Structure 1
């Protein structure tokens, strides 16, 4: 097969794509392709009677405005493939080894719409298929290490990372933070040079909701381009130095503040903040449990309580930086 014309590096993997993927940095070539991405194509083995070869694996309990599940996932051909279909009819096929992705979308949507799924849930699942444990987090480079900022949806992970970016720190990843164990270190793999932000976060950081461009014509979420002047994208992996978990915001005058998470609660806290943890089979879950147990033995874990007032976001960064430097000096 002749390689498609676009090569990329993302999440520690080399990609080959038949279309240019918005937001990714094109490479001249790569020595080995880990994942092949094919837009507007289906696997030859599934060209016909796809409905006869599938069984439902998982259905989102959330529904869209048309009362359709946000996403439905099937296993096809006795587990050889996974099929994802979103409520808007965007569709992905993934092979069981996480080496090939096929994507299709309806005429009322765009490539940019499809890429928002591809670079989020789809690659999060591909990494899990390949045995990579991923935190639902943002990752920031501080000196020669990285920190991971965790928390549930809406906790402010991306907003906090963007505040660090404004302060001159390089960003490794947003939303998905893959962790690989190498030479007695846990390395955070870089993603791609964008941060995704809701309009409320854009307004808090830049003064106006439309200060940053929209990700797609059909969605109001926006993105910070880390390739523009004054911003930095960390292109190489860095050791994981500290993990910070964001808790509920408070109006307490003492906020923002942080506290150490006891080791007996640490594993539960980490597992509840991994990516795609509702889609794991027994083997994936065992891999996750084993790696996170070792992470906890080496990497400090902190709970951070932000202030409810978004104007205090720079103070939140200062609290995290102060703690990071204290821990680094004690090593």
Structure 2
């Protein structure tokens, strides 16, 4: 089943839906396109997955399995050319189904639970983009005036709550929980800028953040998962300028602590980190965990992220946990952005 978001470009990709003509207004908001099909994808249960992620959390099970896709006219022992490789990503979470990832097409076979779009916008699209040599990391992207910046941290560590506060202070909220890093046209240069495109205009936030930061009643908002208290937030519509790509100016690595200043005042320290440390932290915040080795993408991915940390400012923010400190931390970020 399709939902309304599939017709909106995300992370620089336009989804070409069945029987729908491409939208000419999307030409500046997407540099890539992928055909989508909603159809049956054969089960790969008889095959050995090349990568598995399994996490039995307190709330629900997360299980992902990645399989090589064997075409009907291809013997299992045959190795396809790199450009012809395809994969099936099997999702067994609150939503269940499969994504067949091919070079120019993604087939969605969804069975039940949380809609496919929830998993498509990060996991499936990240896999497709990574195969296209576009790295994806756990990050929110925002824009203040002419500067686009990213907040990098693992899921569930307060990125969206901080982003909501920054949005209230005048920032445009571009992406939630994922950032696709599009290298500019100078792809062979040792130093290069990276471009950011908006994602779908939705974010996920905990009920207390919805009420305390946004001032909305969480009870009127849809849940991310039926058994999960996080809520779906419709983001403010972007201006025409912000609907297109922008150059990434700075990346902030979030380091949230429980320590306040010596006089019990909020603590927030912003410091530039060296490229080696930055590279390690970015690798730790990859969308697909340790799947890149199985996908034979690891070497090129490290090369691209190495270019990123050499060409983009990378800073670490160590700050006090607690919603009462959000205003202080947000203003510290805005002050830092104003520096040359």
Which bracket does the TM-score occupy, shorter chain normalised? 0.7 to 0.9
Deviation at 1:132, TM superposition (A): 0.8
Count of aligned pairs between the two proteins: 305
Q: Does 1:239 align with 2:247?
A: yes
Residue of structure 2 equivalent to 1:225:
234
Counterpart secondary structure, 2:165: helix
After superposition, the C-alpha distances for 1:265-287 in whole angstroms (9 at most, x for unaligned) are 22112211222132113642122
Q: Does 1:36 align with 2:35?
A: yes
Residue of structure 1 equivalent to 2:279:
267
Of 56, 62, 65, which aligns to 1:63? 56
Residue of structure 1 equivalent to 2:335:
322
Q: Structure 1 222/232 Cα, relative in aligned 2: closer, same or farther at 3 Å?
A: farther
1:169-180 matches, cutoff 5 A: 169-180=171-182
Contact 1:146 1:242 in 2 (8 A): yes
CA distance in 1, matches of 2:137, 2:93: 25
Contact 1:14 1:34 in 2 (8 A): yes
1:1-331 matches, cutoff 5 A: 7-18=7-18, 27=23, 34-39=33-38, 41-43=39-41, 46=42, 51-52=45-46, 54-63=47-56, 70-77=63-70, 78=76, 80-88=86-94, 90-97=96-103, 99-106=105-112, 109=113, 113-183=115-185, 184-207=192-215, 210=218, 213-216=221-224, 218=226, 219-227=228-236, 234-252=242-260, 253-281=265-293, 283-326=296-339, 329=340
**Higher RCO (C-alpha 8 Å, min separation 6):** 2
CA distance in 2, matches of 1:85, 1:323: 40
CA distance in 1, matches of 2:201, 2:282: 25
| Two-structure CA RMSD over aligned residues (Å) | 3.0
Give unmatched runs, 5+ long, in structure 1.
1-5, 21-25
After superposition, the C-alpha distances for 1:246-270 in whole angstroms (9 at most, x for unaligned) are 1132331351222221333221122
Per the normalisation by structure 1, the TM-score is 0.81
Per the normalisation by structure 2, the TM-score is 0.79
CA distance in 2, matches of 1:30, 1:237: 12
Give unmatched runs, 5+ long, in structure 2.
1-5, 71-75, 77-84, 186-191
Counterpart secondary structure, 2:320: coil
Deviation at 1:290, TM superposition (A): 1.0
Counterpart secondary structure, 1:280: helix
Contact 1:173 1:190 in 2 (8 A): yes
Counterpart secondary structure, 2:338: helix
After superposition, the C-alpha distances for 1:25-52 in whole angstroms (9 at most, x for unaligned) are x94676897222233x125xx4xx7545
